[in-house]
């Protein structure tokens, strides 16, 4: 067993936004081509603390990655009030030859970066611009947490003209902390603090929403026609706003469950006709998706485990190459059972 710690993961992934984005894009293409296995994630909830949850995301990804494992990710929103990170995560990778677990990886950064890479990739695709040639100069960010810090970092890497971000959070202290972190990690992007979510939605043609909302509380009436909304937290938007927009998802079967905004839209409409395309399908065949210039397009990624596995396998490969991590030689039983 190789245990890879947070500091080592951070070192491996430092300033590799383009490589990570390429891994995410390749994973989406393989998923669309049927070269993955992604069972539904399992939600462990607690009757006494309904906002808290721990989720298991098992996945297999074929192709050059050829890896399997599971991410175990916890979300405890009250951690924020105690000065702790809301989310924590670990990933176990298993050998595809024996099935034995072979790596145990601290995965909070993997989880955040694959989420951000997915959002930035969608922004590049849905705005009809290719990496390196974008004229997007400003973005909106609703929710000043770890995820949107990473989203801004990846957007800055993939949208070279980006120079301004308009931000909003209901907690002024989090806004201040967010601004400090962004000044250190994305110094080329200037921040403008908004007084409301609607002000953010109206400021730019691309907005990322990453909050801890448990139920819909927002519509998109303030958005410009043809805007792109990265609905990362999945439960902010009303079902009505979903139904009048173009919708792109990572996987319809995964995203239409667990009371997400799209799940509520499905219940309200009686079907999934409001889902226009999948991101993997667009990446494999860009001509298959047509933007309506007068409608808002919403990207709602459930967060497929294949992204975690792809990035974890990359981290494992780099850790072995760099002789990083802690080896535990006697983790598994030493005797062989013959039954």
Summarised one tens digit per residue, pLDDT across range 14-57 is 999 999 999 999 999 999 999 999 999 999 999 999 889 999 99
pLDDT of residue 333: 87
State the chain's mean pLDDT as an integer. 93
Q: Are 103 and 92 in contact (CB under 8 A)?
A: yes
pLDDT of residue 289: 92
pLDDT of residue 49: 92
Spell out the SS3 assignment of 28-95. Answer: HHHHHCCCEECCCCEEEEECCEEEEEEEEEEEEECCCCCEEEEEEEEECHHHHHHCCCCEEEEEEEEC
Give 132's pLDDT tier (boundaries 50, 70, 90).
very low
| Choice among 80-84, 192-196, 239-243, 255-259 with the minimum mean pLDDT | 80-84
pLDDT of residue 212: 85
Q: Please report the domains of the chain, with CATH numbers, ordered by start residue.
A: 2-109+305-327 (3.30.1780.10), 129-300 (3.40.50.720)
Task: Report whether pLDDT(133) > 60.
Answer: no
Task: Report whether pLDDT(131) > 50.
Answer: no
Task: Report whether pLDDT(299) > 90.
Answer: yes
Q: What percent of the chain has pLDDT over 70?
A: 97
Neighbour count for residue 224 (Cβ, 10 Å) = 14
pLDDT of residue 338: 63
pLDDT of residue 339: 58
pTM value surpassing 0.95:
no
pLDDT of residue 127: 84
Task: Report whether pLDDT(310) > 90.
Answer: yes
162-166 mean pLDDT: 96
Give 130's pLDDT tier (boundaries 50, 70, 90).
very low
Residue 54 Cα to chain centre, angstroms? 16
Whole-angstrom Cα distance, residue 204 to residue 172? 22
Task: Report whether pLDDT(290) > 50.
Answer: yes
Residue 113 Cα to chain centre, angstroms? 7
Give 9's pLDDT tier (boundaries 50, 70, 90).
very high
Task: Report whether pLDDT(134) > 60.
Answer: no
pLDDT of residue 135: 77
Q: What percent of the chain has pLDDT over 90?
A: 86
Q: Are 305 and 70 in contact (CB under 8 A)?
A: yes
Whole-angstrom Cα distance, residue 185 to residue 287? 35
């Amino acid at each position: 067993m190789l245990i890879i710690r947070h500091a080592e993961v951070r070192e491996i992934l430092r300033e590799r936004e383009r490589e990570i984005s390429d891994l995410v894009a390749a994973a989406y293409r393989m998923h669309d081509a049927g070269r993955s296995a992604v069972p539904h994630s399992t939600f462990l909830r607690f009757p006494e603390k309904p906002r808290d949850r721990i989720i298991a995301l098992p996945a297999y990804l074929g192709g050059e990655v050829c890896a399997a494992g599971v991410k175990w990710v916890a979300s405890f929103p009250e951690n924020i009030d105690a000065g702790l990170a809301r989310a924590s995560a670990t990933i176990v990778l298993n050998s595809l030859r024996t099935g034995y677990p072979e790596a145990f990886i601290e995965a909070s950064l993997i989880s955040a970066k694959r989420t951000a890479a997915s959002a930035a990739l969608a922004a590049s695709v849905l705005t009809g611009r290719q990496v390196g040639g974008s004229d997007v100069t400003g973005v909106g960010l609703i929710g000043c947490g770890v995820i949107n810090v990473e989203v801004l970092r990846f957007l800055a890497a993939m949208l070279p003209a980006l120079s301004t971000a308009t931000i909003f959070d209901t907690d002024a202290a989090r806004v201040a902390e967010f601004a400090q972190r962004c000044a250190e990690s994305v110094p080329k992007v200037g921040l403008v603090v908004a007084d409301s979510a609607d002000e953010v939605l109206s400021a730019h043609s691309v907005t990322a929403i990453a909050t801890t909302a448990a139920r819909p509380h927002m519509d998109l009436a303030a958005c410009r026609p043809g805007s792109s909304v990265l609905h990362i937290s999945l439960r902010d938007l009303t079902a009505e706003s979903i139904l009048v927009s173009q919708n792109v998802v990572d996987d319809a079967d995964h995203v239409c469950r667990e009371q997400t905004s799209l799940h509520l839209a499905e219940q309200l409409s009686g079907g999934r006709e409001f889902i226009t395309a999948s991101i993997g399908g667009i990446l494999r065949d860009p001509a298959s998706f047509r933007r309506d210039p007068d409608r808002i397009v919403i990207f709602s990624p459930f967060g497929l485990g294949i992204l975690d596995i792809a990035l974890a396998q990359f981290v494992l490969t780099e850790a072995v190459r760099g002789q990083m991590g802690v080896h535990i030689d006697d983790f598994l039983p030493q005797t062989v059972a013959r039954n």
